[in-house]
Amino acid sequence: MFNAIRYNEATYRLMKWWYGLGNRSVKAYVFVCSTGRCGTNTISDVFANSNEVSSLHEPYPTMYSNHSDLPLVQQRQLSLLKRKYLNILKAANYKLAYVESNHMFIKTFFQIASEFLPSDKVKIIHVKRDPFSVASSFYAINSIPGKPPTGDRFLLDPFADGNLLDLRQELTSENFRHDFYKCLWYWYETEQRIAKAKLLTADKIDWLFLETKDLNSPTKIQELISFVGLTDVMPNIQDLVGMRSNQKKVQKSHFSKIDFKIYEERFNQLLLSKGFMPHTEC
């Protein structure tokens, strides 16, 4: 009964209005856009040092790629997208900025930034790490795109319809069946989606590009703070420059003795044959 009251359109409209009053002080809604496994948690740690900022890493509600695990009654209630929107407004109440680092952003709730929030207050930080490192990290924690228990919930499915990089046939072949190829595919598919989103919104939303290595640079961190417009309210952040978090050391397993660099070379050749340019910078 409580959820039926909480998650319906009438309550949504009321809470949207109420939180909207408290969001009048917000100067920026900031989202980190990435594949994941590239240091984005560090960005939320930086901004969490100001009491004027609500800075969160992958906050509630969890934005699953696959909603099939939700009970049917919950699927029929207020959409997960609108629930997420209300939670953003709630967290931003009476703050100067809302910052969220979440690799689910580009996959499940980019629409909130592009359609729900005022575009002149939305800022997106695109963080990129090289594909081999990202693929290796996901493979090491056994998070394989499209495969349960985590790959189907939090990543993308290489065998789903509508992917920008359609390699369904190739990834079932003998040459590219290994799970590491799925992790490489995931990087390219996600970066393609980011590029498409940037192209569609570049005229109304501010974007900042960073590489993972930039998080070790005081100059780049200062540029990041200036981009968000919080230079006056941020304390000394020098101690945070270069800090690494969310490394998932406990979850990581040892690689087998396979030379995964050879896998990357093979995958690059596959991309070239499909008209895609492989990422070559490390």
Q: Do the beta carbons of residue 98 and residue 47 sit within 8 Å?
A: no
Which residues touch 82 (CB under 8 Å, ≥6 apart)?
A: 12
Which residues touch 130 (CB under 8 Å, ≥6 apart)?
A: 279, 281, 282
- Rounded to a whole number of angstroms, the CA Rg of the chain reads 20
| 113 within a domain of the structure (yes/no) | yes
Residue 259's pLDDT is 83
Encoded tokens for 73: 């009654």
Residue 176 pLDDT > 80 = yes
pLDDT-based confidence at residue 248 (cuts at 50, 70, 90)? low
Residue 239's pLDDT is 61
Residue 246 pLDDT > 70 = no
pLDDT tens, 188-229? 999 999 999 999 999 999 999 999 999 999 899 999 999 999
Average pLDDT over residues 5-25: 91
The values of phi and psi at residue 87, to 5°, are -70, -30
Residue 73 pLDDT > 50 = yes
Average pLDDT over residues 227-253: 69
pLDDT-based confidence at residue 79 (cuts at 50, 70, 90)? confident
The SS3 call for residue 243 is coil
Average pLDDT over residues 19-40: 96
Q: Do the beta carbons of residue 97 and residue 27 sit within 8 Å?
A: yes
Residue 280 pLDDT > 70 = no
Number of domains observed in the structure of the chain: 1
pLDDT tens, 138-150? 999 999 999 998 8
What is the spatial distance between Cα 192 and Cα 188, in angstroms, rounded to a whole number?
A: 6
pLDDT tens, 154-171? 999 999 999 999 999 999
Which residues touch 282 (CB under 8 Å, ≥6 apart)?
A: 130, 132, 133
Residue 65's pLDDT is 79
| 280 within a domain of the structure (yes/no) | no
Give how far Cα 144 sits from Cα of 129, 135, 140, Å: 18, 9, 9
Q: Which of 144, 141, 167 lies closest to 155, judged by CA?
A: 144
Residue 282's pLDDT is 39
pLDDT tens, 30-72? 999 999 999 889 899 999 999 999 999 999 998 887 655 555 5
| 90 within a domain of the structure (yes/no) | yes
pTM of the model: 0.89
Residue 192's pLDDT is 96
Q: Residue 153's Cα: distance from chain center in Å?
A: 13
Residue 26's pLDDT is 98
State the residue range of the domain holding 123. Answer: 2-130+201-273
| 38 within a domain of the structure (yes/no) | yes
| 163 within a domain of the structure (yes/no) | no
Q: Which residue has the higher pLDDT, 184 or 254?
A: 184
The values of phi and psi at residue 171, to 5°, are -75, -5
Which residues touch 182 (CB under 8 Å, ≥6 apart)?
A: 144, 145, 146, 147, 151, 158, 171
Q: Which residue has the higher pLDDT, 75 or 28?
A: 28
| 181 within a domain of the structure (yes/no) | no
HEC assignment per residue over 36-86: CCCCHHHHHHHHCCCCCEEEEECCCCCCCCCHHHCCHHHHCCCCHHHHHHH
Average pLDDT over residues 227-237: 86
Strand order in the sheet with 97-101: 53-57, 97-101, 28-33, 122-128, 206-211
Residue 251 pLDDT > 60 = no
What is the spatial distance between Cα 115 and Cα 40, in angstroms, rounded to a whole number?
A: 24
